[in-house]
A and B are shown apart, each in its own frame.
Chain A
Amino acid sequence: MSTQIPTRPGRARGAAATAPSAPPRRIGFRQTLGRWDVKISPYLYISPFFIVFAITGLFPLLYTGFVSVHEWDLLGGQGDFVGLENFTTVLDQAFFWKALRNTISIFLLSSVPQVLMALMLAALLHANLRARTFWRMGVLLPYVVAPVAVTLVFSKMFADDSGMINAILGQVGMDPIAWHSDPFWSHVAIASMVNFRWTGYNTLIFLAAMQAIPQDLYEAAVIDGASRIRQFFSVTIPMVRPTIIFVVITSTIGGLQIYDEPRMFDNFGQGGNDRQWLTVTLYLYELGWRNTNLGRAAAVAWLLFLVIVIFAIGNYLITRRIAAEPTLRTTRGAKRVAGRSAR
C-alpha cells in the first residue's frame, strides 16, 4: 500500500514536465521502469521494517486495546464486552498506584545519575588516555553480562541479613539497611543494578558524539582562555545536545518498562510482600499470567503506554531547554572573555 501512494504525484509531475517541452513522444517501457525504480525503490527498501512493525508492533498495540475493553481470561479467552471497566478497576487498585510510584521512583533513581555519570565518563575517556581502547571497552563490559546474572549477583550482595553490603556497613559501625522491606532502599538497590548495566553503554554513545565535535571549537575556546571545565560546559554539552535528548528519551522508555531487575530482586518476582518494588510491568505480568486476567493486564499495558508517552514528551521538552542554555552561556561567556581581554 505504502508503495503506491508516492508514485502518483511522481507520475503526474513527470507528465507535466514532458508535456510542454516535446511533441508526443512514446516513452519506452524501459524508461517507465527506470523511473519507477527511482521513485518506488526507496520505499520498497524501507518497507520491510514497516511491514514487520505493523505485524509485530501496531497490530498488537491495537489488539491490546481491543482486549482491554473485554473480560478476557488467559486460558478461557474472550468474554463479554465491558467497556472501560477494566481501566476503572485497575485505577481503583492500590497496587497499581504503588506500582506507578515505584516505577517512577526507580526510573528517577536510575536514569538521572546514569546520564550524568555517562557524560562525565565520556568526557574522561575523550581526553588523551594511555591504553585508550582498553578503558573504552572496559566501560562496556557490564553491558555484555546477562541482566539476570547481574541481578543474581546483586541480590546476594543486597540480602538483608546475610548480604555483603550490610556486612560492610556493619564493619564501619552503621546499622544494616532493610533492602527488601523499605521501599526507598529497595529502589536504590534496583536502580544500582540498572546503572551498573547501562551507564557504560550510554558512555559510549556520548563518546561517539563527542568525537564528532570539530577540534577547532576547542582550539578557539582555549585561545579565549576557557578552562577545561568551561570547555566541557560551553562546548561539549551544547554540541552533544541531540545525543543527550536521544539518550534521555531511550532511557525513559527503558526505565519505565523496567522488569528484569525487580523481577529477580527476590525469588518470588512479585515485588515484595508489601509490593515495595512492584513495577508497572511486573503488575501487568501478575494480572495477566498469575491471575490469568488478560483484560486487566491489557488495560495496564495501555496505561503504561500513555505514561511513557507523557514522560517522553516531558523529557524531550526539559532536555531541550537544559541543553539549550549553555549555548547562550557560551556567547555570554565569550563576550565576557572578550571584554576582559579588551580591558
Chain B
Amino acid sequence: MRTTRKRAFALVAGMSTIALLASACGGSGDDTTDEPAGDGGTETTDEEITLTISTFNEWGYDTLLDQYMEEHPNITIEHNKFATSNEARDQFNTSLAAGSGLADVVGVEVDWMPEIMQYSDQFVDLASDSVEGRWQDWKVGQATTPDGKLVGYGIDIGPEAIAYRADLFEAAGLPSDREAVAELFGGEGATWDDFFAVGDQFTANSDVPFYDSGAAIYQGMINQIEAAYEDPESNDIVAVDNSEVKDIYDTIMSHTDLSAGLQQWNEDWVNSFQNNGFAVMLAPSWMLGVISGNAEGVTGWDIANVFPGGGGNWGGSFLTVPTQSSHPEEAKALADWLTAPEQQLVAFQTTGNFPSQVEAQNSDELGTITNEFFNNAPIGTIFAERAAAVTVAPYKGPNYFAINDAMAQAINRVEVDGTDDAASSWAKWVEAVQAL
C-alpha cells in the first residue's frame, strides 16, 4: 500500500502537476489572448448569478459583501479567504497558468503585482469614469500598464510610521510621549542617521535591543529608492551594481549591534513580543493588527508620527478581474463598489487596513479613529499624514520579489543565523541574483 502511495508521489505528484499545469498553460495561451474582455452581457443584469471573490489575511469584507448581496438580490457572492499572501500567490499562479480556477474578483498584493502586469492581457481593463481620481497617482501607476490599461483597483496601502515601546524608552531616559518621540527621531526632516543615532542612545542605557530585525529596516530603506533592482526602461537587473543597494546593505550591517537579530514572522520573533524583545519597529498600518495580536497583554506600545528619510510605503493590495471570469461586468461592478472610499473606511475600522482612496484619507471620519492598544493613538490622522509624506513610488519589476527576498535572506544569514559575515553573505546574494 505504501509503495503505491509513495510511487504515486514519485510519478504523479511531482511531475504530473508540473506537466499538466504546463500543458494546460500552453493550451490556454492561444485562446485567451485575443478574447474581448466584456462578453459577459451587460444587459442581462437581472439574471441570477454567482460571483466569487478571493482575498487573503483579513480585509474586513464579510459585512460589506452581505450588504452588497442585499442591495443586489440577483447576485450571490462566495468569498474564498486565503490565510497568507504567499498561499494566495501560489494558487493565483497555478490557476492563471491553468486558464481556469481563478475567482471573478481576485485580490493581489503589491509585491507580486509586477509579475502579473506581464500578463495584463489576461485581465479585464478596469478603467472607468467612476474611479477617475480615486487614488493617489503612484498607487494607480502600480496597476497601470505602459499603454494605459488599468489592471487593478487599489484597496489599501501601507504608509509607515514608527511603533515603539513608551515604557522602555522612559526606562532608558528618553522621551516617551508620541510627539516628543517624533521630534527625537527628527520630526519632519527625520533621516536614517537620526534613527540609528537614537538607537545608539537607547542601547547605551538599556539591555533591550533597539529594533527587531535588520531585514525589516532594510525594507523601509529600499522602499525609498526609485529603481533599486531593475532598470524601469528595460527591466534589466541592475541590483548588483547599484551602489544605493550596497550602501543600504552596508548601513544595516554596520548597525547589527542595534538589532535583536530576529527574523520577522518566525516563531522567535512572534514570541519576542511577549518578553521585551525589542523597543522599536517600522510599522506600516497593517502591522498594527500584527503587533497588538502578538503583544497581547503587553502595555506601552505607542505610535510616533514620523518616518526617517521622508515617507515610506510597505505593502498594500489590489482587486483584479481576470478574463477567465464568466461575469466580468458584474465582477468589475463589485470590485468598483468594494474599493469605493465609503466601503474602504468601513474596512479600516474593522481591521486597520489603511484606505488607498484619497477621499477616504481626507474624510473627517478617518480623523476620529483611534487605537486603544497603542495608547489611544489617533491612527487615522497619523497614517493619513504618513501617506501624504510618501513621495517615491519605487519601481518594482518582474524580478523584484525574488531579488528582495534573496536580500532579506542575505541580511538574516548574518544577523539571525550567523553563518556568514557581511562580505560572504553579499557574495551569496550576488550569486542568487545572477541565477535569476
A residues sitting closer than 8 Å to B (CB atoms) are 53, 56-61, 63-64, 67, 72, 74-78, 89, 93-95, 155-156, 159-163, 178, 180-181, 201, 205, 246, 249-250, 253-254, 257, 266-270, 272-274, 276, 281, 284, 288-292, 294, 297-298, 301, 304-305, 308
Contact = CB atoms under 8 A, between A and B. Distances in A.
A163 B115 CA distance: 37
27 contacts: A56-B12, A56-B16, A57-B15, A64-B18, A74-B21, A75-B119, A77-B22, A78-B22, A94-B428, A95-B432, A155-B267, A161-B271, A162-B267, A201-B2, A249-B3, A253-B7, A257-B14, A266-B263, A270-B405, A273-B263, A273-B410, A273-B416, A274-B413, A274-B420, A281-B14, A298-B22, A304-B14
Task: Enumerate the 10 nearest inter-chain pairs by beta-carbon distance, A residue then B residue, closest first.
Answer: A181-B417, A60-B16, A63-B19, A57-B11, A60-B19, A162-B271, A159-B267, A273-B412, A273-B409, A60-B15
A291 B271 contact: no
Contacts of A201: 2
Given A155-B267, A181-B417, A289-B94, 11 more contacts: A56-B12, A57-B12, A60-B19, A75-B96, A159-B267, A161-B272, A162-B268, A178-B417, A180-B416, A180-B417, A266-B263
A273 B419 contact: yes
B93 interface: yes
Contacts of B265: 267-268
Nearest to B414: A273
Contact of A159 (B10, B115, B268): B268
B93 A289 contact: yes
Nearest to B20: A60
A294 B3 contact: no
A56 B94 CA distance: 18
B418 interface: yes
A161 B416 CA distance: 11
Contacts of B93: 74-75, 289, 292
A197 to B, nearest CB: 12
B9 A257 contact: yes
Contacts of B74: none
A301 B18 contact: yes
B409 A160 contact: no
A67 B417 contact: no
Contacts of A289: 90, 93-94
Contacts of A269: 86
Contact of B22 (A63, A95, A159): A63
B10 A305 contact: yes
A248 to B, nearest CB: 12
Given A162-B271, A253-B9, A257-B10, A181 B18 contact: no
Nearest to A308: B10
B289 interface: no
A74 B54 CA distance: 21
Contacts of B263: 266, 273
Interface string B399-427: 00010010001101100111110000000
A63 B20 CA distance: 8
Contacts, number: 158
Interface residues of B, number: 54
Interface stretch (B23-31, B38-46, B139-147, B239-247): B23-31
Contacts of A284: 14
Given A180-B417, A253-B7, A159 B271 contact: yes
Main secondary structure of the interface of A (DSSP, over half): helix
A250 B419 contact: no
Nearest to A92: B435
Interface in B55-111: 86, 90, 93-94, 96-97
A67 B14 contact: no
Contacts of A156: 267
A60 B417 contact: no
Given A60-B18, A93-B435, A298-B18, A181 B118 contact: no
A328 to B, nearest CB: 29
B266 interface: yes
B12 A60 contact: yes
Contacts of B7: 57, 253
Nearest to B402: A291
B416 to A, nearest CB: 6
Contacts of A276: 417, 419
A59 B19 contact: yes
B271 A254 contact: no
Given A74-B93, A75-B118, A272 B417 contact: yes
Contacts of B416: 180-181, 273
B316 to A, nearest CB: 21
Contact of A78 (B16, B26, B432, B436): B26
A276 to B, nearest CB: 8
Contacts of A304: 14
A258 B318 CA distance: 35
A64 B25 contact: no
Contacts of A266: 263, 266-267
A163 B97 contact: no
Contacts of A56: 11-12, 16
